[in-house]
Amino acid sequence: KVKEGFFFSEASAINAVAETDLPIFYIHGDADAFVPTSMVEELYDATKSYKEKWVVKGAEHGQAFTVDPETYEEKVRQFLTKTM
């Protein structure tokens, strides 16, 4: 609380994305058993700023690059080109 101004339990990703004006690129695996795909859908829907989403078929948590490195690099490059 002293360092960041809030307790971890008070943090809300939904509120944070709803308040930011920064562009956000959501990358999520459809085989993620740790974070359900429904959660990325909620975040995406709550985002008011420029946003893109890519759900990677067959990717588990944090494995989008491993599953499809070429598409990953191309999509990230395109997003950065649009937003930087």
pLDDT in tens, 24-83: 999 999 999 999 999 999 999 999 999 999 999 999 999 999 999 999 999 999 999 999
Residue 81: which H helix or E strand, with range? helix 69-83
Please tell me the pTM assigned to this model: 0.86
Domains detected in the chain: 8-83 (3.40.50)
**pLDDT tier for residue 2 given thresholds of 50, 70 and 90:** low
pLDDT in tens, 31-47: 999 999 999 999 999 99
- State how far the alpha carbon of 45 is from the alpha carbons of 11, 15, 18, 42, 50, in Å: 18, 12, 9, 5, 11
